[in-house]
Amino acid sequence: MTSLIPQNLSVVIRPLQYRDLDGIERLAQESSAVETQKQDDSAIRQMQRLRHWYGILKFLSWFPNPLQHRLCTYIAEQGRMLLGVVQVSPFNRTRSTWRVERVMLEHGIDRQGVGSQLLRYCFESLLEARTWILEVNVNDKNALALYRKNGFQRLAEMTYWEIAPSLLTNLAQLEPDLPNLLPISNADAQLLYQLDTASMPPLVRQVFDRQTHDFKISLFSSLTANVQQWLTKIEVVSGYVFEPQRKAAIGYFQLKLDRKGKQPHVANLTVHPAYTWLYPELISQLARIVQDFPTQSLQLASADYQPEGEEYLEQIGANRIEHTLIMSRSVWHKVRESRLVSLEGIQLPEVLQGLQPARKPIPGGMSWTPRNKSKSSEKLGQGTPMQKPVKFSGKNNVNPGDHYQQNGREADYHSEHINKHQE
């Protein structure tokens, strides 16, 4: 398809502005041809919330806070025409791993070229990011080609399931065997971190790079979440299963419930690999909680490194709604080489200025020139009297002159003995 954009204009990458929101919503609607209905609805709802809260998010991006990077979106334009948009966000609390939320591109342009420019701009501008991850639908061939071109490789596969309301009713009739099901607080962050570490392979754990404080909720985050739940009418229920003998968490779930009944309920489930028998118990517990809310289906995800969970979901008759691929890449930032400084214009006194003494040295009484022992012994033997004789107090007064004479005789004796030995 022939592009209508003049080729002599360069592509400019810049942060998001309010005037770009109309074009972004249009791109989100056009992207429904390659994305699933679930992804399309999510993008449109997020753009609507972004328009509503743009002023507050822009203000919060100016100083450190949990929502500082919520507006981390960049635009590619050419001649005041929107070509594409990329949205990124931190994946963990230390911001060592960042996530590419979505890349939306205009039709009729070099999608691979503009998309690569957007991604490389993020790689070069966000210096604190050592690893990047993203999630893409396995049927989106253009997106897969774009991400592989920019160095992303497969990390894991995710499968999204949907449990019908009738099936949830049947599962709710089962009595779950969970005697140690406890609510979650910040004091349980270490237990949840250990569970998260044990439930994934080493490579995935290294890329995610989660720490204990990633499972804690600050006061500001808690207040923000409560306000968001009140506005969206979504209630969050979470809990974990505690093993008293090992003193460890062996299962965890988080359930987002829509009190309006317009959207499906969404669950996040994590089970320790040594306690896979918890899958039926936890899913039954989720089905019992859902019964107190408007009738809707339940959606949850399973990873390919948790085959027991996928087998149980297939066994109960859950429907596969989406199959995605998690991809990752590492970033090494080049160290900028400094220019060589010419040594011709540097004066030596200026270079050695720091080596100059801070004050004028004071001469000491120690002489570094060797003395002739024979001459010194003769001078000592003469017993030169002192100008002002010193008087010593006490019973046994000793004349200092006698002391020097005695030392002089000993010095002469030693010098004569050394001369005879040399002859």
398-413 pLDDT, tens digit per residue, is 454 444 444 445 545 5
* Final residue in a domain of this structure, among 95, 120, 151: 151
396 in a structural domain: no
Q: How far, rounded to the nearest angstrom, does the alpha carbon of residue 364 sit from its chain's CA centroid? A: 60
pTM over 0.75: no
Distance CA 71, CA 57 (A): 6
**Residue 353: band (very low, low, confident or very high) from pLDDT cuts 50, 70, 90:** low
Give the angle 51-78-18 at the CA atoms, nearest 5°: 15
Q: Quick check: is 199 in a domain?
A: yes
Kindly state whether residues 298 and 211 are assigned to the same domain.
yes
183 and 272 share one domain:
yes
Which domain, by its residues, includes 135? 12-151
Contacts of 294 (CB under 8 A, 6+ apart): 258, 259, 260, 261
Residue 244 lies in a domain: yes
Same domain, 16 and 61: yes
Residue pair 60/67 in contact by the 8 Å Cβ criterion: yes
Contact 100, 155 (CB under 8 A): no
CATH number of the domain bearing residue 140? 3.40.630.30
Residues 184 and 94 both lie in one domain: no
In a domain, 376, yes or no: no
356 within domain boundaries: no
Whether 100 contacts 133, CB under 8 Å: yes
Determine, yes or no, domain membership for 347: no
For residues 79 and 390, the model is more confident at 79
Residue 246's Cβ-count burial label (10 Å; 0-12, 13-18, 19+) is exposed
CA distance linking residue 102 with residue 143, whole number of Å: 10
- For the cut 90, the answer to whether the pLDDT of residue 154 exceeds it is yes
- Same structural domain for residues 145 and 163? no
pLDDT in tens, 61-72: 888 877 788 889
Q: Which residue has the tokens 């008293």?
A: 244
Is 79 found in the same domain as 212?
no
Q: What's the domain count of the chain?
A: 2
Residue 417 predicted with pLDDT over 80: no
Both 90 and 186 in one domain: the answer is no
Contact 252, 197 (CB under 8 A): no
Domain end point (choices 277, 299, 330) = 330
Give yes or no: residues 137 and 262 share one domain: no
Q: In 3-state terms, what secondary structure has residue 356?
A: coil
Structure tokens at 191: 């237990």
How confident is residue 251, by pLDDT bands cut at 50, 70 and 90? very high
pLDDT band at 379 (very low <50, low <70, confident <90, very high): very low
Domain stops at, among 299, 330, 361: 330
Pick from 275, 294, 263, 109: nearest CA to 195:
275
Q: With 70 as the cut, is the pLDDT of residue 348 above it?
A: no
**Euclidean distance between CA atoms 40 and 322, whole angstroms:** 13
Supply 22's token pair: 């109309």
pLDDT of res. 119: 96
Under DSSP, is residue 218 helix (H, G, I), strand (E, B) or coil? Answer: coil
Domain assignment present for 230: yes
